[in-house]
Amino acid sequence: MAEVLPTLLCLGWCLGWSVWAQMGNLLLPTLMALPGRFVLNMTPVTIQCQAPLGAEATAFRIYRDGSSEPRDTEQGPQPEDTGSLQITVMTADRAGQYHCQYEQHGHWSLPSVPLNLVMTGAYGQPTLSRTAGSEEAAVTAGAAVRLQCVSTIRFDVLVLSKEEDSTIRSQKAGHQGKVCQSVFSLDNITSTQAGTYRCYGHFHTDPLLWSSPSDPLQLQVREAPGKPESNDPRTPLAIPTATTWLPSQVEKGESAAWAPSAENRVRLGLAGLVLLVLGVLLVEAWCSQHRICPAPRGAP
């Protein structure tokens, strides 16, 4: 009995997990863009959907908000747990918010976390420079740096991007005459903020259509004298709420993923029956152990 109980418990847990997963509670897939989500117009990009580790994905769908129907991913030489959608030429109508799903045992997962695909090169490039008083080749850790983005196009928003980790920071542009500008402050700077920076501009009406990138600006950070090299974890630049993209839900896909079929209801019933039998066996084992326990000394 002691050897049978763990086996039955394992079987019941596995059956319950299988039914739970097939009723729509599949783990979310991961969606990414290669080489990155900032794509220069007329250049290619690959949107890749990856199923969770251990998932038995048989199909993938990648789709953009506003499109009529999800698109099945194209077949090609790639891992079995990955689906890809190739965009050979990036254009304005292909910028947007993308989602993906994968199919397992005839059921589709819920949509992935959205991916905002941005097209750059829609307008002329701005200029990025360091403000007066911070133009040294390298800045000491702990100091403050001011980066100024200026454009002759009167953008609503100017964006600062760091290439090494794709972090961005956006600010409302200030207008003066025929130019717009914004100053980005990097306070208490650390070595993790060293790297290559560019800036872009866009309008509120088209938040995923950006200007051409500015020429790169290299920022070097040297450690303060007498201080060891900083081991602070990387802290991404915050994205202000003014340019935050809110994820939308695909209601049709979500409701279909959570609706149990007749087959799943049968499996759920079997799982409940197995758990009931396990409970009876556990009670029987407990009673059996108490019946075979030796009586206390001195008992008649």
Its sign, for the CA torsion 32, 35, 36, 39, is negative
Kindly indicate the confidence band of residue 236, based on its pLDDT and cuts at 50, 70 and 90: very low
pTM of the complete model: 0.65
Identify which of 131, 171, 127, 135 has the alpha carbon closest to the alpha carbon of residue 153. 127
Kindly indicate the confidence band of residue 283, based on its pLDDT and cuts at 50, 70 and 90: confident
Question: Do the beta carbons of residue 167 and residue 192 sit within 8 Å?
Answer: no
102-111, 112-121, 137-146, 255-264, range with the lowest pLDDT: 255-264
14-18, 104-108, 154-158, range with the lowest pLDDT: 14-18
> What radius of gyration, in Å, describes the C-alpha atoms of the chain?
29
Q: State yes or no: pLDDT of 161 exceeds 50.
A: yes
Report the SS3 class of residue 191.
helix
Q: What is the spatial distance between Cα 131 and Cα 96, in angstroms, rounded to a whole number?
A: 34
Q: State yes or no: pLDDT of 108 exceeds 70.
A: yes
pLDDT the model gives residue 7? 52
Q: State yes or no: pLDDT of 298 exceeds 60.
A: no
pLDDT the model gives residue 284? 75
Question: Do the beta carbons of residue 184 and residue 254 sit within 8 Å?
Answer: no
Collect all residues with Cβ–Cβ distance below 8 Å to 146 and sequence separation of at least 6.
Answer: 130, 131, 133, 134, 183, 184, 185, 186
Its sign, for the CA torsion 204, 207, 209, 213, is positive
Q: What is the spatial distance between Cα 150 and Cα 214, in angstroms, rounded to a whole number?
A: 10
Its sign, for the CA torsion 134, 138, 143, 144, is positive
Average pLDDT of span 167-172: 92
Find the angle CA(46)-CA(112)-CA(116) to the nearest 5 degrees.
Answer: 55
pLDDT the model gives residue 79? 62
pLDDT the model gives residue 228? 55
207-211, 233-237, 274-278, range with the lowest pLDDT: 233-237
Q: What is the spatial distance between Cα 98 and Cα 160, in angstroms, rounded to a whole number?
A: 23
pLDDT the model gives residue 224? 78
Q: What is the spatial distance between Cα 282 and Cα 61, in angstroms, rounded to a whole number?
A: 45
Q: What is the spatial distance between Cα 230 and Cα 70, in angstroms, rounded to a whole number?
A: 46
Q: State yes or no: pLDDT of 63 exceeds 90.
A: yes
Return the C-alpha torsion angle 126, 173, 176, 178, nearest 10.
Answer: 40
pLDDT the model gives residue 94? 94
**Averaged pLDDT of the chain:** 77
Report the SS3 class of residue 237.
coil
- Phi, psi (rounded to 5 degrees) for 42: 70, 15
- Phi, psi (rounded to 5 degrees) for 153: -95, 130
Q: What residue type is 191 in one-letter code?
A: S
